[in-house]
Amino acid sequence: MLSRDKFLLIGLLFWYATILIWTAQSPVDPQFWLLSSILPAALVLALTATHRWFPLSHASYVLITAFLTLHAIGAHYTYAQVPVGLWMEEAFHLGRNHFDRIVRFGCLLAYPMEELFRLGAGARGWLLYYLPVMTVLGLSGLWEIVESWVASAVHPELGITHLGSQEDIWDAQKDIASALYGALLCVAILALVRAVRGVHPPAQVQPIVIDSSLS
């Protein structure tokens, strides 16, 4: 019989594996899908390998899975052609497909980052909220740099088109800003909820103990 923690992790892993297999079927740009799937797959492997001695909360694992799911969908269609984004563009007269901004909105990754700094580095006080925001902001900027390197190496003839900027010269800056706004919103809500409830989050990792008799 599986424990609750183990059941959740296996369920989330199965969900992501299913999404990954589905998005691998006839992607719009197979090369783009492959390159976009390498880092997420590495992250999943790292989380799987470390979950026993450095477990995150259920909320963090669910948020990370949600982010990876949205990213996988974007990689399948290429962000500029995701159907739900095209529908939003037409319905709300947005002028571009904003699915990429939705995915990069930093809300989904800010809380897992907060846990990482709180439990792994012992961050306290204002640093507990500052570090996740700066990390999400930095990773968003790094992604834009890596994306430009890949575009210039793989499809130099396509240039800005391959970056998915959709003819917006400020696309990279707006994507980074989206990540910043999402992270700020997340830590603001987190700080407010804790202040209202008077809750002090745990400061140490609680290892997952699995009874060998249940394995």
pLDDT tens-digit series, residues 20-47: 999 999 999 898 898 889 889 999 999 9
- d(CA 139, CA 147) in angstroms, rounded, equals 12
Least confident residue range of 12-21, 62-71, 115-124: 115-124
- d(CA 209, CA 172) in angstroms, rounded, equals 43
pLDDT in tens, 115-152: 999 999 888 999 999 999 999 999 999 988 887 887 77
Structure confidence at residue 211 as a pLDDT band (50, 70, 90): very low
- Mean pLDDT along residues 72-86: 93
DSSP 121: S
Q: List Cβ neighbours of 138 (8 Å cut-off, separation of 6 or more).
A: none
Q: List Cβ neighbours of 166 (8 Å cut-off, separation of 6 or more).
A: 80, 96, 97
H helices of 4-80, in order, are 4-23, 30-50, 58-77
Whether residue 123 contacts residue 131, with contact meaning beta carbons closer than 8 Å, is answered with yes
Whether residue 158 contacts residue 32, with contact meaning beta carbons closer than 8 Å, is answered with no
Two tokens, residue 100 = 């990429």
Is the model's pLDDT at 160 over the cut of 60? no
State the pTM of this model.
0.85
- Taken as a whole, the chain contains a residue count of 215
